[in-house]
Structure formats: structure tokens, C-alpha cells
Amino acid sequence: MSEPAAKIELDERYTLACTLAREAGQRAMAMWRNRDALKVEHKGLQDVVSAADREVETIVRAAVKAAFPADAFLGEETAGEAGEGIAQERVVWVVDPIDGTSCFLNGMHAWCVSIGVLIDGEPAIGAVYDPNSDELFHAARGRGAWVNSSPMRTSDASSVRDGVLGVGFSHRVKTDAFVPFLERLLTQGGMFVRNGSGALMIAYVAAGRLIGYYEPHINSWDCLAGLVLVREAGGTVNDFLARRGLLNGNPVIVAGQGLYPKLVGLIDGTCCTQ
């Protein structure tokens, strides 16, 4: 287990998460500019990894271990090394070194570095850095949510017609389990966007740029930081960590408080009027 003391230091880890997100993003940006030289592997459908992903994760992991050697670490590229007991650790860093690798490799700007920290089983720190716009979305439990030095608030939308919804999809889920939701959304006058980075779109929800985000299955390293951002920005998030979500992934639903129950209704088909 990590620190035996009852109190886990939050602010020092928050500062480190923000610093590492920026530094890792700047290193990834340097490799993005020379991306044609990167070695790329295909892990599965819609799932690629580059040398940049591996290098950035190694940098972040080493820095975390140097600062907090007792903390556990769960990264996208090394998740297979994590045992079942990681969910019981007091502090777990949950990291996606480059969320949106396909966009990264194809020269698009929809990618970011995502660093989340679980403390005593609860998402407590989130830092999502977009080096393309030099925006650091960050939050810690009880500290509010910020983009760089400006406070963030989720949208006050109460209808899907009040803005644009972010959506994500992976082929871990059957298409016929997702398409009916899109049909209901469009029928109710809503509109959606998918940019290839779930972490970045969840950060946009926290910033009030998107009214909500839904993905029927997402991994913890793609969304854990964002859950903290949205919650501290005044929004509502689903119980992502239920049913071993840390290791197995789960659906993610985030939105402002006024929209969240209606979004859930559109997803499960129980709310078809706005």
C-alpha cells in the first residue's frame, strides 16, 4: 500500500500533475512535428501506439516514482502490468500519455496528455494538457476547475438543443447498442461532435464548450482526469469506477447538472421528449 499515514498530501500531487502534463505535452509536441519518423504499432481495431506514447509515459512514470515512490501507477501503455490489487492502493496515478494517438499520427490537433490521480478510491486530481492550444485544464478535489488561470464552469444547458454534445465510440461496443442513442439525439434536435480524443472532449465539457459527453465504453486513463474536471466545474458524472471500471473500463456520461438526467434518459431510451 502507499502512504501509511491517514492523510494523503493532495496539493503536492496536484502541482506535480500539472507540471508533468505540460512537460509531457511539450515533449509530445516535439515528436508530433517529426511524426513521420515515429515507429507505429497496431494493437487492434482503432487502437494504435507510437514510440511517442511509450516515451511520454516513461517520462511521466519516472517523475511520479521519483516524487512519490509509494504511489501506484496505471498507464495506457503499461496497463497489462497492473495487477488486480491496484484498485486497493491508496494513491493511483492514471495516465494516458497521448490521448488521440490516431489524430496525433495523422497530423491533426485533437490529442492531449491526460493525468488523473485516485486517492482512497476517489478521483481527486485531473490535469489535461492540450499543447496545440497551450491549454492546461486542471482541477483538484475542493480546489475548483481551471483552464490555465481562468476558472471553468460547465454549461447551464437544460436541453440537447442548447449546444453541442460530444460523443465517442470504440468497437469494443456493438454498433447497434449505440446508433439508437444517436437517432434519439438527432430526433430531439441535438447535434454532436467526435474529435478523436475523449479526454479533450470531457475537458471541453468542464469548460462549458460542450454541453455533455457520452461514450458507451472508455478506459480509465482516457477519462479519469476529466471526471475531476467536470465535477469541480459544477457538473455531474456517472459512477465510472463501478464494476471494476478502473481496470476494465465503463461507459462515461458527463454533463452540466441541468442536462445530465435528460442525457441519461436519451441514452437508455426512457426520455424521448425535451
* pLDDT cut 70: percent of the chain above it: 92
* pLDDT higher than 90, residue 110: yes
pLDDT band per the 50, 70, 90 thresholds, residue 269 = confident
Question: Can you list the positions of beta strands (E) in 171-210?
Answer: 191-193
219 contact partners, CB below 8 Å, separation of at least 6? 76, 79, 96, 249
Which has the closest alpha carbon to 207: 152, 245, 259, 255? Answer: 152
pLDDT band per the 50, 70, 90 thresholds, residue 42 = low
Distance CA(8)–CA(169), nearest Å, equals 35
Predicted pLDDT at 260:
98
Indicate the DSSP class of residue 209.
Answer: S
pLDDT band per the 50, 70, 90 thresholds, residue 52 = confident
pLDDT tens column, 205-240: 999 999 999 999 999 999 999 999 999 999 999 999
* pLDDT higher than 50, residue 1: no
CB 259 within 8 A of CB 160: yes
pLDDT band per the 50, 70, 90 thresholds, residue 123 = very high
Most confident of 72-76, 81-85, 268-272: 72-76
Which domains, ranges and CATH numbers included, belong to the chain? Answer: 11-151 (3.30.540.10), 160-268 (3.40.190.80)
* pLDDT higher than 80, residue 2: no
Q: What nine digits make up the cell of 1?
A: 500500500
Alpha-carbon separation of residue 30 from 52, 53, 127 (angstroms): 10, 13, 20
Beta bridge partners of 129: 113, 136
